[in-house]
A and B are shown apart, each in its own frame.
Chain A
Amino acid sequence: MRIYYAHPVEIYHTPREFKEIEIIKRHYPQAEIVNPAYFQDKPGALHSNIDFFYSLVDSCDILIYSDLGGFVTAGVALEVKRALEQGKPVYRLDWRTGELTQIRELRNVLSLEETQSIIDAMIYLALDDVEIASIINNALSKHQGKVALLNIISSITNSPEYQKKERIKESSNINILSRFYHWWQEPGNASHIVDTGKLKDMISAKLSELGEKSMRSYILKTLKLSKTRYDYYTYLLKNRAPKPIEVRVLKRLCDDFKIPYVALEQHNAFTNIKFPIDLDKPGLFMLASHILNEGHMRTETKSIEYYNKDPVLHYYLKQRVEELGGSFSGPFEAHKAFASYIDPLTGRLLNAIGIPYGPRAQNQPFVSFKRMDNSTWKYHFQATLTEEGAITLRVMQDKRIGMKISLTRAIDITDLLPKNFVSSLDYGAHSIGKTISDEKIYRTIISNPPTLLQAEFEELTRRHSRQIPIYAWRPPYPYRIQKSKDDRITIHWALEIIKTHLVDLIYNYYGMLPGTWKSIAFEKRYQFYLEHRGQKLTENEIEELHQIEKQYPWEIPKQWINQKIKELFKSNGAPAGI
């Protein structure tokens, strides 16, 4: 089955697009998703040339679209109409709830001019699509369709009361359409404390707006719902006290009383958390780096797990979590490493910026470092080098010293490979160069690199492009193929930095996270490399190198671990050097 995924251009290559694709895959795991964003660079694929996109719609069996808070943007509307005319099933995707709803006719279609003016208004006012849609809908119902939408958008844009000045920043890590995490994105069984007094007032206002006599008659007579439902709402709302309420209950209550979900946020109905949660926090992206490297996010209701032998890295993690207001526990001794745990809500925020649940090699993250400010990007690279990097110091054949910095990441491409190839491969890890004898299979491998490593390489070259031409870098390449006992094929890729001036750049500009054991071991090796490179090493110097390797092995000494645990987690105050 082929699915055409129609969505506003503003969503292309954003965490929201990542989430929407995740939802489509969840509903249709076997389907091929045709994403117009991937055809942007194709000749003739400009969005002004709708025929090209019509031909893509025509080649699909169904169409799934997303909109801006219920308003369908001009380009998406054309594609949806095309599919409807051909009698194809069309579904509206709500990325915040994960729901797909079949539609048979299209409403709230925006013209090109209206689409552009809504986008401009969102950026100017720092509101996301559901927030601005709620304001527009209120204005539309006030004017009862007598004022043109364009005029309404313009008057909203010019009203200072709507601008969220506190949200406006010089640089932003995430675009406005993915930036806010609303309460109804939470899983149904998550509970939040709600000011039931405010909720009761909102219900009363809605009932009078609907011309209803009482909640009782509305529930029992108008909606014809059960007495149990009425009794439950009465119980929930009594005493006007803050009360924990499950998200699924709140959503049902809003649906029953026709209260837009966003209204609960506008009335500050939550007392434990301020919704929507702003995801544009450097700390969240810094935490993401640790989780991408050494974390495990299993499901949306389970704690995130983080494993590492170095207590200092756990301390970094703790700091990031606490800055975000999340809860951290650990480190606890686990098999071969320490384990720390982070609350599931923080995990859901990480998921909202592009970190998927499940095995890392199978579920590749969404990553775009382009919007990141320099310090967040620098932190990402430092953390990655510390957690995933390997430093090799080698005496070469001519007795000169060489240093190699490598980063490796993996991707599961089982589903892209021919079944006979998968079954013919022996279990275990094999060298790519010695194993792959079919050029077509090799092409499949190189067409599908790990998204994170590829993004890291692109960003590294982009950030330093003024000093270093791209050709100076060695591009990432696949080096190992691995077949697991459950017949999954994983390809391991490496990014290697060998040239002296690039090694210097990595050490001087980035380095590793200060205070970690690996950063100390790196420092000692780099100093030796710096002092001796370009000259033939004497026997004494080679011995000196062996001593450094013995004194600062990559395996962290137990005594150092114990000391750091004591310093960082069993006493008060931040340690020196972090």
Chain B
Amino acid sequence: MRSMTRTFTDEELKRIINDLFEHFKKPWILEREFKPYLQAKGYTDEEIDEIWFQAFRKGLVIATGTLVGNKRELMIYKPSGEEEEWGCMAHQ
């Protein structure tokens, strides 16, 4: 099902994620924030899904949900400093 979508290399993913967090300057980014940003950079909706999900699977970000009003939304979180060294239990 996913074979039609583009595959990103580890370096590409790292770069995109780093750019994203540098742009927003905060450790939590909602999908409603990163999606328009990446769209503006020329990525398709499918590629954007691929970016956050692959970044999560490779342990670059924690992908989870948060409540915005009464609705849960996808958000990505980038551990930093002491948190980075502890890693994320989702990959252990």
B-binding residues in A (CB < 8 A) = 37-41, 394, 396-397, 402, 404, 431-434, 437-439, 442-443, 446-447, 449, 454, 458, 470-471, 474-480, 494, 496, 498-500
Contacts and interface: CB of A to CB of B under 8 A. Distances in A.
Q: Which 3 residue pairs are nearest across A and B when measured between Cβ atoms? A: A41-B69, A479-B89, A433-B91
B72 interface: yes
Contact of B82 (A433, A447, A480, A498): A498
Chain A contact residues: over half helix, strand or loop, or mixed?
Answer: mixed
Nearest to A494: B89
Contacts of B28: 470-471, 475
A41 B49 CA distance: 26
A191 B1 CA distance: 60
B22 interface: no
B82 A402 contact: yes
Contacts of A458: 67
Given A38-B70, A475-B77, A478-B64, A433 B90 contact: yes
B53 interface: yes
A318 to B, nearest CB: 35
A434 B91 contact: yes
Contacts of A471: 26-28
Interface of B: 1-2, 26-28, 49-50, 53, 56-57, 59, 62-67, 69-72, 74-75, 77, 79, 81-83, 85-86, 88-92
B62 A474 contact: yes
B64 A446 contact: yes
Contacts of B92: 431, 479
A474 B59 contact: no
23 contacts: A396-B85, A402-B86, A404-B86, A431-B91, A434-B91, A439-B2, A439-B49, A439-B50, A439-B53, A446-B74, A449-B65, A449-B72, A454-B67, A474-B77, A475-B64, A475-B66, A477-B62, A477-B63, A479-B89, A494-B89, A496-B89, A498-B82, A500-B82
A391 B90 CA distance: 18
A498 B86 contact: yes
Contacts of A438: 1-2
Contacts of A479: 88-90, 92
Nearest to A402: B82
A404 B82 CA distance: 10
Contacts of A499: 81-83
B83 to A, nearest CB: 5
A565 B69 CA distance: 48
A237 to B, nearest CB: 52
Nearest to B49: A439
Residue from A431, A446, A478 whose CB has the most chain B CB atoms within 10 Å? A446
Given A475-B28, A475-B64, A433 B85 contact: no
Contacts of A475: 28, 62, 64, 66, 75, 77
A498 B81 CA distance: 10
A433 B70 contact: no
A40 B83 CA distance: 36
Nearest to B80: A499
Residue from A439, A446, A494, A498 whose CB has the most chain B CB atoms within 10 Å? A439
Contacts of B65: 446-447, 449
B91 to A, nearest CB: 4
A397 B83 contact: no
A211 B86 CA distance: 80
Contacts of B67: 454, 458
A62 B75 CA distance: 36
Contacts of A478: 64, 90
A496 B86 contact: yes
B64 A476 contact: yes
A33 B82 CA distance: 44
Contacts of B83: 474, 498-499
A471 B62 CA distance: 14
A494 to B, nearest CB: 5
A474 B79 contact: yes
Contacts of A480: 89-90
